Amino acid sequence: MPMDSSPPRAGEAVSAITVRTAHAADAEAICAIYNQGIEDRIATLETELRTPAERREWMAARGPRHPVIVAEADGRVIGWGSLNPFSARPAYQYVADFSVYVERAWRGRRVGRQLLERLIEMARGLGYHKMVLAAFPFNESGVALYARLGFTTVGVYHEQGLVDGRWVDTIIMEKLL
């Protein structure tokens, strides 16, 4: 089913944005939003588009310490986020990586902020000590959001990935919980 998740026009009413736990039925919308992030080349080193079936399998394979959440407006999924394992090594069990993706038309409307605030709350509740991320330095709005929510830059991986024939850096940020 195609996503019709255009934000409201100026003056048009919209119900509040709600954040909830994702369900298997959300896999198609999660996939579409993730694929936008891949296509736009602003949020991930991933370059191959995903399928709803793959996203359903990804969701089903996650344990209770690695939840997936969605943001909805008027009953439509407009963004998603997840807590992800940083490393399989036991010493890293209290460190969470995370993902936040917002539907193109809803970017810049505080959806990502709501998702990330909820992920931070969930990470604390799950006993994590720290959250980490890698972002493109040119994703200025994302980096600014992370900084506003208390993430600090701890380094840069220079030429971390080859995307569309060019090497890209990633900025590494963390937040102690």
* pLDDT tens per residue across span 121-169: 999 999 999 999 999 999 999 999 999 999 999 999 999 999 999 999 9
Is 9 within the bounds of a domain? no
Q: What is the CATH number of the domain that holds 152?
A: 3.40.630.30
Whether 107 has a pLDDT exceeding 50, the answer reads yes
**Do the domain assignments include residue 7?**
no
Q: What is the mean pLDDT of residues 68-81?
A: 97
In a domain, 11, yes or no: no
pLDDT band at 9; cut points 50, 70, 90? low
Is 40 a domain residue? yes
pLDDT for position 8: 58
Entry pTM = 0.91
Measured CA to CA, the distance from residue 8 to residue 21 in angstroms comes to 24
- pLDDT at residue 19 above 80? yes
- Confirm whether 54 is domain-assigned: yes
The helix, strand and coil proportions of the chain, stated in percent and rounded to the nearest 5, come to 30, 30, 35
Domain count, the chain: 1
* Residue 5 located in a structural domain: no
The predicted pLDDT at position 23 comes to 96
Given this model, what pLDDT does residue 10 score? Answer: 43
**In terms of residue numbers, what domain contains 42?**
18-176
